[in-house]
Structure 1
Amino acid sequence: MTLQEMLEKSVWGRQLGAAQLQHVIQQARERPVAAGQPMVRNGELAEHWIGLISGFGKMSIWSADGRETALIGTAPGGWFGEGTLIKRGRWQYDAVALRDTRLALIPRETFEWLRANSLPFNHYLQQLMSARMGFFIAQLCNDRLLDSTARVARSLAGLYNPELYPEPGLFLDLRQAEVAQLAGVSRQRANAALQVLEDAGLLQVGRRGIEVLSLQGLRDYASPG
C-alpha cells in the first residue's frame, strides 16, 4: 500500500472533501523505520501525527530502575500522537518498530489545519482519543490481576478495536517474539501463553503468524474474574 492509498482509505480521510484530502496528501511524508529502531523518543517535541502504513510498533514507558511497561501496540492503519500534538507537547513515551515499518507523517501544521477546517475530522479525533483512553483505563484496572497468558490474550484482542485500527482480519502476521514484546512478557512466557490459548481453541499458531479462532474468547480470557 502506498502512502496516498493509506490516506485515501483511512476512516478520517474518507470523510474529507476532495480538496482537503488532496492538501493532506501533498503535505504528508513517508518514513521507513527498521525493526528495533525508535518511531518516537520520550522527551522529543512532537512534530507529526503518525500512522502505520505497514509493520508493527509498540508504545512503552521505562521506570527509573530500567523496567519497561508496555502500553499499547500499533498496527497498520492505526494513528497515534494526536493528544500530544493538541497539547503542543513532547512525547511522554517511547514507540519502537517491532519489525521494518513504514510510517505516514502528517505535519503539525497540517494536523492543526484539519482541526480548524473539518468537523468530521474533529469527530474522528474525539472517538479515537476516547477509545484509547478506554483501553488504558481497562489496562490500568486489570494489569495487576492478569497473568502472562491473559496479558497475551489482551494484547491480541486489542488489535481488533475498530476505533483504533481497521479490521485486521482473523489472521495476524505476528511472530511469537513480537507477541512477547506487545504483551510485555518474556518470549518463553509468550510461547507458553500461546500454547494455552491454542489448546483452549481460541487461536492457532502457524509458521507465518497467528489465526484467531475466537475473538470473543480472547476478550473473555483477558477479563479478570
Structure 2
Amino acid sequence: MNAPLRLCIDRSLQRPLLTQQEREAINRGRWFASLSASLRHDILRLGQVTRYAHGDLIAEQGQTAREWFTCASGAIRFRRTTPEGKMVTLTYAEPGIWVGEAEVLQRGPNTSDAHAHGPTTLLSVPEDTLRALLLEHPSFGTALLTLQARRMRLIYGLMEDIATLPLRARLAKRLLHLLHRFGPRGVEPGEPHSIGLSLAQDELAQLLGGSRQRVNVELKWMEREGLISVRPRGIEVHDVQRLEALVVQCAAAEAQD
C-alpha cells in the first residue's frame, strides 16, 4: 500500500480557507462526488483558496496553464479573443465544475481568458500537486478521463443544438440549463425562478450562436407569453414546464420541415 501523500506545501498559501458553504458546493458536484473519499480529502486539503472580485482575471488566454481549478462560489466566465480581435463569451462555470486539467497536464496554453463573474472563490491545484495526486491515487487518471468525456458530450450536444434547433428552442433550452446550474434550490411551486447570473444580451447571443437582435426578439416573445421576465440583474423563469414543452415542440416542428 502506498504511503499517504505528503507534499512540502507552505500552509500560508491555503489562506483563506473554504467556508462550509463553499466546501459543500464543491462536494455537490456530480463528478467530484464520484471520487473516493481519500482522493476528495487530498484535493480539498492540498488545494489553494483564492477570492476574486467581479471582473478579476483568473487565467489569461495564451499563457501557460499552471493550475487545475474549480469554482467554490460565484461563477467563472470563459471568453476567447478570435484572431480578428473579437471577444466571444464561451460559457460560464458554476460551483463544483473543474476545468483546466488537459492544459495543465500537457503544459499547454490557456485556450481562453477566465474572469470572475461576481464575487468568486476558487480552489486551485498546482501542476506539481496534480501530478503527485495522479501517482498517489491510481483511480484519479480514469476519473479525469471521465471528466473529459463528459465535457466532450456537452460540446457535441451544443453543436448539435446549433445545427438542428431553431433559435427559440435553443434559447429556451439554454435558459433551463442556466437555471439548473445557477438558480436557487428549493423554490416553491408557482414562484419565479431567478437564474442568478446577470448576462448581457450580446453574451447570451454568443452562447446561443445567434445575433443580439434576434435573441432580443425571442426574449420579448417569451415575456409576452408569460414564460420569463427580463430584469436589470438577470432573467426570471415563470414556467419551467412550458419552457421544456417549447423545446420539444420546436424540435418536432423542425424535424418535420
TM bin, normalised by shorter chain, reads 0.7 to 0.9
Aligned to 2:203: 181
- Which of 116, 135, 141 aligns to 1:116? It is 135
For residues 65-101 of structure 1, the C-alpha deviation after alignment (integer angstroms, 9 at most, x for no partner) is: 2223332221222121122123221111122233222
- Structure 1: unaligned runs, 5 residues or longer: none
Structure 1 counterpart of 2:198, which letter?
Answer: R
Equivalent-residue separation in structure 1 for 2:247 and 2:98 (angstroms): 22
Tell me if structure 1 keeps the 8 A contact 2:74–2:118: yes
Change (3 A) 1:35 1:113: same
For residues 163-205 of structure 1, the C-alpha deviation after alignment (integer angstroms, 9 at most, x for no partner) is: xx6996564212243x642442777765543332344555454
Say whether 1:56 aligns with 2:75. yes
Say whether 1:32 aligns with 2:57. no
Change (3 A) 1:151 1:58: farther
- Which of 89, 93, 96 aligns to 2:112? It is 93
Larger radius of gyration: 2
Q: 1:92 aligns to what SS in structure 2? A: coil
Say whether 1:196 aligns with 2:218. no
Change (3 A) 1:17 1:137: closer
Using structure 1 for the length normalisation, give the TM-score: 0.74
Q: 2:65 aligns to what SS in structure 1? A: coil
Q: Percent identity between the aligned chains?
A: 27
Using structure 2 for the length normalisation, give the TM-score: 0.66
- Which of 125, 128, 134 aligns to 1:106? It is 125
Equivalent-residue separation in structure 2 for 1:168 and 1:125 (angstroms): 29
Structure 1 residue 148: Cα displacement: 5.8
Change (3 A) 1:159 1:49: farther
Structure 1 residue 41: Cα displacement: 0.9
Equivalent-residue separation in structure 1 for 2:196 and 2:182 (angstroms): 15
- Structure 2: unaligned runs, 5 residues or longer: 1-17, 186-192
Equivalent-residue separation in structure 1 for 2:137 and 2:184 (angstroms): 27
Q: CA RMSD in A?
A: 3.7
Structure 1 residue 111: Cα displacement: 2.3
Tell me if structure 1 keeps the 8 A contact 2:49–2:122: yes
Aligned to 1:130: 149
Equivalent-residue separation in structure 1 for 2:116 and 2:162 (angstroms): 23
**Higher RCO (CA-CA < 8 Å; seq separation 6+):** 1
For residues 98-119 of structure 1, the C-alpha deviation after alignment (integer angstroms, 9 at most, x for no partner) is: 3222212122223223333435
- Which of 198, 201, 216 aligns to 2:244? It is 216
Number of aligned positions between the proteins? 221
